[in-house]
Amino acid sequence: MADIRLEGVGHSYDGGRTWALQPMTWTWRSSRAYALLGPSGCGKTTLLNIISGLLSPTVGRIWFDDREVTAVPTAGRNIAQVFQFPVLYEEMSVYDNLAFPLRNRKYPKAEIDQRVRRVSQLLGLDDHLRRRSRRLDPGRQQIVSLGRGLVRSEVAAVLLDEPLTVVDPALKWTLRSKLKEIHRDTGHTLIYVTHDQTEALTFADEVVVLNEGAIVQAGEPAELFLSPAHEFVGHFIGSPGMNVVPAEIADGVVRVAETDVGRAVGELEPGPVHIGVRPEFARLGGEGTSPGLPVRVTSVDRMGAYNLVHVQAGDHPMIAKTEAEARFAPDTVEFLHLAPDRTFLFRDSVRCGSIAPLDGKGAP
């Protein structure tokens, strides 16, 4: 186990014209469970393949603790990788599959047997060791692929590239908790690539959000939800995502659709900004103590446990999450109250400030 340090690592598939992965410096700390979250094509798999050595980065250096591995081939890095679909040696038994990486490395027979049995016990494969691997269901096959990584106890990290894509939804939960269990028992560093925010948020100690080849924010799941540092994080995490509407700062006051919504907090030049607030923190109601934003209700989605009320603030559509019992009729005018500590200002997509209640008008 080791810290995996990327030093200015970037990758370009077309000789530097565009970066699939923008040069970045980042450390994956030992024994943590990371989720690498981002939309399709944002560079997640590229980053993973660079760590495992399947791909040489165009620029930058990779360190496992104090050992530089930039030029070390995959086999020498001791990385385990699980792919989107189960990759098995299909004509071999489960036992032989698990033993394969050890046999290739010329381990003594007794040790191979001992390690295979330990991993099969850990993964609950004891009853299947003699079966042909391709006869297993896809979920178990994926577990066997994972097991092939875990037999080498000295693995630096286990990389999982959307490993649950082919697995039945019902089985996903089982497998994910199995993964967490394994992480707890073995203490391997896990990097779990996914584009599914639920998967990422429930799985990881730390979620790293990647967009257009760059890490836009990393943090604990709650942090990403409550305090997005980038518009993309606001959009991508949460369901529905954050409301982002154009606003204007003038004389230290933030205006949306010609209504003052709060004082700007932060060193901010006057001028256009984006204001972002999650539907969870936009309260819809009558004219109250806070300076509500007058909005027109356009439609209501009943979600069972809650309602999503679609509104129009000036020309800008927004969504507010309300209780299931709340009744809002389309085409009525209501007031949207933005929670000051959960409403953020963005410039060039990056968070630059937040809002505070206006003087003289109390908290919402």
| Shortest distance (Å) from residue 23 CB to another protein | 24
CB 320 within 8 A of CB 296: no
Q: Provide the token pair at 234.
A: 């606001």
CB 346 within 8 A of CB 352: yes
3-state secondary structure of 49: helix
| Shortest distance (Å) from residue 171 CB to another protein | 6
Q: Is the dihedral of CA 221, 226, 227, 228 positive or negative?
A: positive
| Shortest distance (Å) from residue 222 CB to another protein | 30
| Shortest distance (Å) from residue 124 CB to another protein | 11
171 near another protein, judged by CB under 8 A: yes
Distance CA 76, CA 113 (A): 22
| Shortest distance (Å) from residue 103 CB to another protein | 9
Q: How many residues belong to the site for another protein (CB under 8 A)? A: 32
Which one among 139, 238, 353, 357 touches another protein, defined by CB under 8 A? Answer: 139
| Shortest distance (Å) from residue 189 CB to another protein | 15
Distance CA 304, CA 325 (A): 10
| Bridge partners of residue 337, in order along the sequence | 283
Stretch 101-120 residues interacting with another protein (CB under 8 A): 101, 104-105
Stretch 174-213 residues interacting with another protein (CB under 8 A): 174
Amino acid of residue 338: L
Which one among 65, 68, 111, 168 touches another protein, defined by CB under 8 A? Answer: 168
Stretch of residues binding another protein (CB under 8 A), selected from 28-36, 170-178, 315-323, 356-364: 170-178
Distance CA 145, CA 138 (A): 10
Stretch of residues binding another protein (CB under 8 A), selected from 36-44, 142-150, 210-218, 294-302: 142-150
Which one among 7, 32, 39, 100 touches another protein, defined by CB under 8 A? Answer: 100
Q: Provide the token pair at 214.
A: 């760059």
Q: Provide the token pair at 41.
A: 């094509």
Distance CA 353, CA 355 (A): 7
| Shortest distance (Å) from residue 192 CB to another protein | 16
| Shortest distance (Å) from residue 290 CB to another protein | 48
306 near another protein, judged by CB under 8 A: no
- The helix or strand, by DSSP H or E, that contains position 283, with its residue range, turns out to be strand 282-285
In the complex with another protein, which residue's Cβ is closer, 62 or 284? 62
CA nearest to 260, candidates 327, 331, 178, 358: 358
Give the N- to C-terminal CA distance of the chain in Å, as an integer: 49
β-pair type (350-356, 259-265) = antiparallel
Which one among 58, 81, 194, 322 touches another protein, defined by CB under 8 A? Answer: 81
52 near another protein, judged by CB under 8 A: yes
Other Cβ atoms less than 10 A from the Cβ of 58: the count is 18
Q: What phi, psi does 356 have (nearest 5°)?
A: -125, 155
Which one among 57, 149, 213, 276 touches another protein, defined by CB under 8 A? Answer: 149
Which one among 13, 29, 41, 89 touches another protein, defined by CB under 8 A? Answer: 89
Stretch of residues binding another protein (CB under 8 A), selected from 19-27, 34-42, 80-88, 277-285: 80-88
Distance CA 231, CA 247 (A): 14
In the complex with another protein, which residue's Cβ is closer, 165 or 312? 165
3-state secondary structure of 112: helix
Residues that bind another protein (CB under 8 A): 49, 52, 54, 73-75, 79-81, 83-85, 87, 89-92, 100-101, 104-105, 137-139, 145, 148-149, 167-168, 170-171, 174
